[in-house]
Structures are given as structure tokens and as C-alpha cells.
Structure 1
Amino acid sequence: METKMLDAHIPLPLAERLDALALDLALPRDEIVTEAVTAWLDQEERRRIATLRTLAAANTIILVEHDRVIDWADSL
């Protein structure tokens, strides 16, 4: 797979946590970062799809007149 080099400035405490995790897991930092970015992007895509579906569903809602709702409630 082709790759692209990205530079990112992250807070020092986060970089230290990344270094410690990479050492503990004996994994390269770029592998951990790639997995984290992939998980974040997947989550954001799921959220976007859910939002679009919710908006589409909201556009198909059928409105019922207030009086009809009252009549229905009174009939119960």
C-alpha cells in the first residue's frame, strides 16, 4: 500500500504517552497512530451517516393536526 508522510504537532504529554505505549507493545508509533486515525475516521463516518439518516427520516415525518390528536386521546 502506498503511504504518505504527515507531520503533526501534538502536545508533549500525548507524545510521551504514545512513546510509552509503543515501547510497552513493541510496536512502531506509526502503526499505533495509523490504527487510531483509522478508528477515529470510521467513527466519524458512522456518525455522519447516522446524522444524514436522521435528517432524511425527519423530512418524511407526517404531521397530524392538533385537534385530531386530542380527539384520538379522548377516545382512549
Structure 2
Amino acid sequence: MLIDLGSELNVVDKSGAWYSYGDLRMGQGKENARQFLVDNPDVADEVDGQVRAALAPKSESSSVPGDEGADAD
């Protein structure tokens, strides 16, 4: 699932049957790419972090909408 999401979000590149992350070739075929991530948990954590960041809702400010002036008392 991480490979699929990464590919959809352009975190993981897919060229033909090859999957890559940056300059790293993860493997030919999804199963080999998955095994690469199992064997390289540091890379898997990086990919996971980038996928999570891409999926996180983007907020322009840290305040809660409609909460302006709630501290006035």
C-alpha cells in the first residue's frame, strides 16, 4: 500500500516495471520494491513520512476557524 500511495503522490517514481525513490532503485516489480523497503527500514520511514506529509490537510494558519476573539473575556 505504501508503494501504491507513494506512486500516486509522486513520492515513489514508477518507470515501466521499476520503482525508484529519489536516486535509489527499489526494484523491478512491486514485490521487489516492497522487499527493498522491508530490508531498508530507514528508506521506508522516509517514504512513509513523505506520503503522510502529502496526505496531511494543508492549513494556512494554526488557529481554529470561528475562534477569533474567544479569549476576550
Normalization by structure 2: what TM-score? 0.30
Q: Which has the higher contact order (CA 8 A, sep 6+)?
A: 2
Larger strand percent: 2
| TM-score under structure 1 length normalisation | 0.30
Look at both structures and tell me which one has the larger radius of gyration over its CA atoms. 1
